[in-house]
Chain A
């Protein structure tokens, strides 16, 4: 009940420690939702389940990535960064209240859109290709309204996160000497570094590299929130119009223009925020694990800026099979700029490994092994995506299981999630005031089950994709059954790995500890960790 050796004492946690732990608990619960949904779909791909009609299957397929990204990843990442930015800058978070609102809005918003999809089967998928989200012959507009409202709550929480991050970087805490807000912002966004390229006298970087990475990824997070909110309002207009008896013309919105707009926004997450946040997290983890300075630090800073600009200009690789898309956009944005991701992500991969190598011999700790898993995930997933971002190859790969297996799932499950697990393991003693892990054997099982399960699932989906298996459809006659059974078994490993991790964490902090996280703290909100008495 009280956790491993009774070391975890929630009454001694600061409000900030409790806040990040709440983000982690909710993020892991929603990760559990996504894994269970994933397993239902894995079984369905082996053989359709009679108890789950096709419209329910597609509702699950719609909710699955959104719960995974918004409910789980956003919770884990935002929680970690709301703690890390003040921690690294050695000053309090600008607004604890706003941080709490971010937590509540993401947790509640995810539940609202998940329930709306589950109950009403609103299922236009996350891509929402126009006019599908406004096709009320297939979908219930009331369910859709709640679905969009849930997403809007998540986006509002995201906007609060963005404000909190930039204000924390730039503000002057009470009783401090006036901080150079503008200069801090310039340094965080890379403007200082860019100007240094053309100056003899180099200006010093005022923020550390991990904070710069968080700031630049947060720019994409903000832009993406704007795009999703705007799109949500557009869809809501059609839904409310329909509910009020007006028949708004769907052709008023150009489907191709909409697709460009929406993919531009989505790629700010997939090719911007994720890659920048991940690179920044790799750098921070490598420095913390090795205790050394980052290898080629200036190049790493420059690459983060390049990555940010690249993320604004790569969206056309999703439209290589759209024949009306201008050829110049396909070649420049779809192929050439996208290829830069191989370079920027390759740089981050190399710099992280070189930094770790400089400190060997290192103990194979949980954070190190999960970091290596995360690096391997992106090393496998990025080239798989680059191959598809080619006019020739896209013709025979688009919308097959290739893209969703070796690229998306390996990037998200192995690359991103293992990086996050590494961060969780390294932050665990800091945010719990030294709680001890219940079982190292369970942590080892979690690592191997997650790594082999994630890579295995991606590989077998990819093999099916190369043989023509489409994503987003149902095969009724066991066409790809062998591959799907193997992918299903790999998915089962992922599920077991997650259960082992969850059990390990709960046993480490105890049931009383989990409850205590959600009780108010008596300590000062400005304290990150308890001050030594």
Chain B
């Protein structure tokens, strides 16, 4: 499965390019709106082309990501996919309770993290050693919170709550407890 870092890099490049283009465009508009010139009237064809472009962009974004980000279809269909390993994790009193001291996974395995909250709404996220995020989900009390993930490469990961659950929640970090062999 494609590493989430690659998707983030792609997004960074795409949005940065867009931001520069739109800032330059508004700068150009700001300069030229103060100058006289021909062509003050905006054609309807340009307007409808712009609207069509927005429609195409809005719809295609989700089609493209669904077909290129592997965890998106896996997430939607996770009820029909048999995991190679399941970890049942409980959260209560601002503490993660793991089934074992360390969660060990073999590279290539599909792993289901099944997290239950006994009190508040928390988050469940996995982070690399440089603090970048692998994935996260919300952990809502009284509901099933599960996420299926496939790790391709060996590595060590930290679990951290990604949702605010009061000031105590900032300490909800289990360092290097997930190991992919």
Report A's interface with B, CB cutoff 8 A: 54-55, 57-58, 123-125, 127, 129-132, 135, 138-139, 251, 254-256, 259, 295-296, 299, 319, 321-324, 327, 331, 335-336, 339-340, 342-343, 346-347, 350, 353-354, 356-364, 368-369, 372, 375-376, 379-380, 383-384, 386-387, 390-393, 395-396, 398-400, 406, 455, 459, 462, 466-470, 472-474, 479-480
Contact = CB atoms under 8 A, between A and B. Distances in A.
Given A359-B40, A399-B162, A392 B72 contact: yes
Contacts of B140: 255-256, 259, 322, 324
A387 B11 contact: yes
**3 tightest A-B contacts by CB?**
A392-B69, A339-B58, A392-B72
A359 B42 CA distance: 11
Residue among B55, B58, B119, B138 with the highest chain A CB neighbour number at 10 A: B138
Contacts of A299: 47
Contact of B167 (A55, A387, A398): A55
Contacts of B155: none
Residue among A138, A356, A393 with the highest chain B CB neighbour number at 10 A: A393
Contact of A357 (B12, B26, B42, B165): B42
Residue among B44, B57, B75 with the highest chain A CB neighbour number at 10 A: B75
Given A139-B166, A375-B26, A346 B145 contact: no
Contact of B51 (A55, A323, A346): A346
Interface of B: 4, 7-8, 11-12, 15, 18-19, 22-23, 26, 29-30, 32-37, 40-42, 44, 47, 50-51, 54-55, 57-59, 61-62, 65-66, 68-69, 71-72, 75-76, 119-121, 123, 125, 127-128, 130-138, 140-147, 160, 162-170
A470 B169 CA distance: 12
Given A357-B40, A363-B34, A372-B26, A474 B170 contact: yes
A466 B8 contact: yes
Nearest to B19: A380
Contacts of B130: 467-468
A473 B11 contact: no
A468 B129 CA distance: 11
Contacts of A339: 58-59, 61-62
Given A132-B120, A358-B42, A321 B35 contact: no
Contacts of B26: 372, 375-376, 379
B127 A129 contact: no
B15 A387 contact: yes
Given A123-B167, A251-B141, A354 B42 contact: yes
Contact of B37 (A319, A360, A375, A455): A360
The interface residues of chain A, by DSSP majority, are classed as: helix
A103 B165 CA distance: 34
Given A324-B143, A474-B170, 14 more contacts: A131-B141, A256-B142, A327-B76, A346-B51, A361-B37, A372-B26, A372-B29, A380-B23, A386-B61, A392-B65, A392-B66, A392-B72, A468-B128, A470-B125
Contacts of B11: 387, 393, 466
B50 A346 contact: yes
Contacts of B167: 54-55, 57-58, 123, 138
Contacts of B166: 58, 123-124, 132, 135, 138-139
Contacts of B135: 395-396
Contacts of A342: 54, 57-58
B163 A399 contact: yes
B61 A390 contact: yes
A467 B131 CA distance: 7
Nearest to A399: B162
A327 B72 CA distance: 11
Contacts of A368: 33
